[in-house]
Amino acid sequence: MTIATGQGAPASIGIVEKRFHRFADPPDTMVLESGTRLGPITVAFETWGRLSEGRDNAILVAHAFSGDAHAAGRYPGESGDDKPGWWDFLIGPGKGIDTDRYFVICANILGSCMGTTGPSSLNPATGRPYGLDFPMVTIGDMVETQKRLLDHLGIDRLLTVVGGSVGGMQVLEWCRRYPRVVRSAIPIATTMRHSALAIAFNEIARQAIMADPNWQGGNYYDTGRRPDLGLAVARMVGHVTYLSDEAMRRKFGRRLQDKNDFSFGFNADFQVESYLRHQGSKFVRRFDANSLLYITRAADYFDMTQRPDPIDSARPGIKYLVISYSSDWLYPTYQARELVRRLKRAGQDVSFCEIEADCGHDAFLIPDERLSNLIGGFLHGIAAA
Amino acid sequence: MTIATGQGAPASIGIVEKRFHRFADPPDTMVLESGTRLGPITVAFETWGRLSEGRDNAILVAHAFSGDAHAAGRYPGESGDDKPGWWDFLIGPGKGIDTDRYFVICANILGSCMGTTGPSSLNPATGRPYGLDFPMVTIGDMVETQKRLLDHLGIDRLLTVVGGSVGGMQVLEWCRRYPRVVRSAIPIATTMRHSALAIAFNEIARQAIMADPNWQGGNYYDTGRRPDLGLAVARMVGHVTYLSDEAMRRKFGRRLQDKNDFSFGFNADFQVESYLRHQGSKFVRRFDANSLLYITRAADYFDMTQRPDPIDSARPGIKYLVISYSSDWLYPTYQARELVRRLKRAGQDVSFCEIEADCGHDAFLIPDERLSNLIGGFLHGIAAA
């Protein structure tokens, strides 16, 4: 768990390493929420900082839908020009999640394609990628694999669990499943359950993939043809929901791309078209279409208001910091307020903050001192308690 | 222009007939805004009511993106169960647009596939459907074809021009091009120009179609294969933008479709999924994919703030009634207010009303007495002036 530091930019954690933990080997496969069994399972993860002797300074970071375990630092051989981890502004020495004080873990979620077992992994029963034979996984199943990883690392208490979007769902699920493990929780830009609007956008993304003949019922891995066009459209849909009307107006407006007048054709005339096409084609190089299907489905199924363990009936004892963004229209502030109301009704200790930002849902991924300070201050309080 | 009435429901205009006007036969083809020439052009249209002897009671209704000329009444042979025209609640004897008083015309827009010339029409140069050889058309070109139709009908003055969404763009374009023809204008749920967000959604819809291999570069008409899957995804995208978060919550919430629990698969579990799939597959039966490309492009290009005739510099003299809907997030009220501000700055006579409704952009297509009364009252005032 020792990490080489000091080789990156001054304020970065430096060079990090992706590691793997394998468990649930047959016959001890894991029982999923659907009742199906899955195994073996590999979880890709990274850690930063040092676990204290009292093992009481561990923080679990949960990533969003298309994220990965690489939340901070750089990989060996990467130059300063390479992008560091996706939350590098927040995780590092002296940062909001201070790696001089805390031991921080992030694991790639079950069903993904960034090192953890998912539909593109080999199915041991066939020796070929699972495709749609991969069982449906839930946010609960993702949390379960993270729990197995913590057990393996010898961590039985979390100072906090923190994450945005689908990561925030995992945060809430941790509180529901393991209220005795979690001391505090920071759900960011998230919701107790998807609205019909959020389900609709996910369904459109799924339909775009499944409409691509190269998808081939999910069994495309060995065919040399991948549903790239469908996946690109799916990503464009997602991308628009991560932005906001204001952000797009500011970022693109009606500006044209490298031209002074309309082409009177179907090329990308507007910058926003060019940007979306670029986002779509960039995404297909790093993400698996089936993983998108599985993870969006898990997000749609997620519902903290559901029996037998609705969030209202949770045992008090966890300190919450709920954060929303004013221009997030995927998980608007009214949904965060509903979460706060329910937690308070259950007697929980809840702080709530809506951050004014015009960049939409993706705001939690954009460097922002307010987020760093909020989280840093909250963690100080928890650690000192 | 006489219309049989009294055969439908009591308050309906009754049986109507689709008619056609053909013009711009070579060599007298029409010059489009892009500079390209197009001809011959057929315009499908319907009329209701009677033109007065003074020819001073004509109202032009402009339809939205996927609409058609059939705004009111029923076609012969249709039963009472068949859906009447798309604005039947507003157009008819004694209704908001009162066919006992006014002569009402609606024409299918250029580039569409509902009787007016568009990409699915025969290209006289090849004897085969145009496909992408159809020239790009603009909102201005649509207005120009409507003007030719009015000339043909002997109408040189419009009591009002009224329409919602892309229809509202045509209304504004009429005021810019023909301020001496238009006495009043009712732009509803529309905008002076598309925001980056609106362009983004249109671009996603276009990409969904063009990603479908059955699209075949737009030349699918003779092949027996049509880009139905891509078009369905495009429609789903559009459909979500026509609704609102509130409307979808009320209409669907998280209710499941014909089941009590999740299927843990990719079938339509939620009602909203089932609804979107239905909308998608229904749409492909009635609409042409290339027409979607052309009309969305025309809407994206539309810009009333552009030189040489920005709306601010318009000559006063037209009375405007601008209507927006509180939950319309495709063309939000702030955009209607910007239009109103600019019109007032140009010295125009403008009334503005935001209708409180939680059903999103599509609200203008939903029977609502407030809309009928607003328009009815406004027209009384204009006709009496």
Q: Which of A196, A232, A300 sits opposite B248 (nearest CB)?
A: A196
3-state helix, strand and coil shares in percent for chain B, rounded to the nearest 5: 35, 15, 45
Shared domain for A167 and A147, answered yes or no, is: yes
Same domain, B114 and B29: yes
Q: Which CATH number fits the domain that encloses residue B213? A: 1.10.1740.110
**Do B83 and B154 belong to one domain?**
yes
**Confidence check: pLDDT of B6 > 70:** no
A292 and A176 in a single domain? The answer is: no
The answer to whether B248 contacts A276, with C-beta atoms less than 8 Å apart, is no
Q: Give the residue from B279, B296, B313 where a domain finishes.
A: B296
Clarify whether residues A254 and A314 are in a common domain.
no
Q: Is A235 annotated as a binding residue?
A: yes
Q: Is B195 on the interface with A (CB under 8 A)?
A: yes
Residue B9 has pLDDT above 80, yes or no: no
B325 in a domain, yes or no?
A: yes
Residue of chain B with shortest Cα separation from A251: B196
The whole-number pLDDT of residue A13 equals: 87
Give a yes or no: residue A219 inside a domain: yes
A41 and A160 in a common domain = yes
**What's the pLDDT score for residue A10?**
44
Domain end residue (candidates: A268, A296, A324): A296
Across the interface, whether the CB atoms of A236 and B207 are under 8 A apart is answered yes
Contact call for residues B295 and B166 (beta carbons, < 8 A): yes
Distances (CA, A) of B65 to A136, B243, B279: 39, 15, 15
Per the structure, the complete domain to which residue B287 belongs is given by 199-296
Q: Mean per-residue pLDDT for A344-354? A: 95
Same domain, A75 and A162: yes
| List of chain A residues whose C-beta atoms are within 8 Å of the C-beta of residue B195 | 245, 248-249, 254
Contact B24, B83 (CB under 8 A): no
Interval B254-282: pLDDT, tens: 999 998 899 999 999 999 999 999 999 99
- Residues B352 and B377 both lie in one domain: yes
Optimal mutation site among A133, A137, A206, A207, interface B, most CBs of chain B within 10 A: A207
The answer to whether residues B281 and B365 belong to one domain is no
Residue A3 lies inside a defined structural domain of this protein:
no
How confident is the model over B180-189, as pLDDT tens digits?
Answer: 999 999 999 9
* Residues B145, B26 share a domain: yes
The answer to whether position B11 is within a domain reads no
- SS3 state at B280: helix
> Is A361 annotated as catalytic?
yes
Domain boundary among B278, B296, B314: B296
Residue B117 lies in a domain: yes
Q: Which of residues 73-112 of B touch A (CB under 8 A)?
A: none
B301 in reach of chain A (CB within 8 A): yes
Residue B123 domain flag: yes
Task: Evaluate whether residue A23 is within a structural domain.
Answer: yes
Which are the contacts of A10, defined by CB distance < 8 A and separation ≥ 6?
none
What is the pLDDT averaged over residues A267-290? 96
Res A313: pLDDT: 74
Residue A34 is a catalytic residue? no
For B303, name the nearest residue in chain A, comparing CA atoms only.
A254
pLDDT of B81: 63
Q: Which ipTM did the prediction report?
A: 0.93
pLDDT higher than 60, residue B1: no
Q: Domain total for chain A?
A: 2
CB contact B212 to A (< 8 Å): yes
pLDDT at site A80? 64
The CATH number of residue B45's host domain is: 3.40.50.1820
Q: Does B303 touch chain A (CB under 8 A)?
A: yes
Indicate whether B299 pLDDT > 50: yes
Using the Cα atoms of residue A244, residue A249, residue A250 and residue A252 in order, give the sign of their dihedral: positive
Verify whether the Cβ–Cβ distance B200 to A132 is below 8 Å: no
Contact pairs from chain A to chain B, CB under 8 Å: 147
CB A248 to CB B200 under 8 A?
yes
**CA pseudo-torsion sign A262, A266, A271, A274:** negative
Cis omega (within 30 of 0) for bond into A40: yes
pLDDT in tens, A138-192: 999 999 999 999 999 999 999 999 999 999 999 999 999 999 999 999 999 999 9
Shortest CA gap B384–chain A (Å): 41
Task: Note the pLDDT tens digit of each residue in A211-243.
Answer: 999 999 999 999 999 999 999 999 999 999 999
Same domain, A205 and A236: yes
Per CB-CB distance under 8 Å, the chain B contacts of A293 are 266
Say whether both A236 and A257 belong to one domain.
Answer: yes
Domain annotation covers residue B148: yes
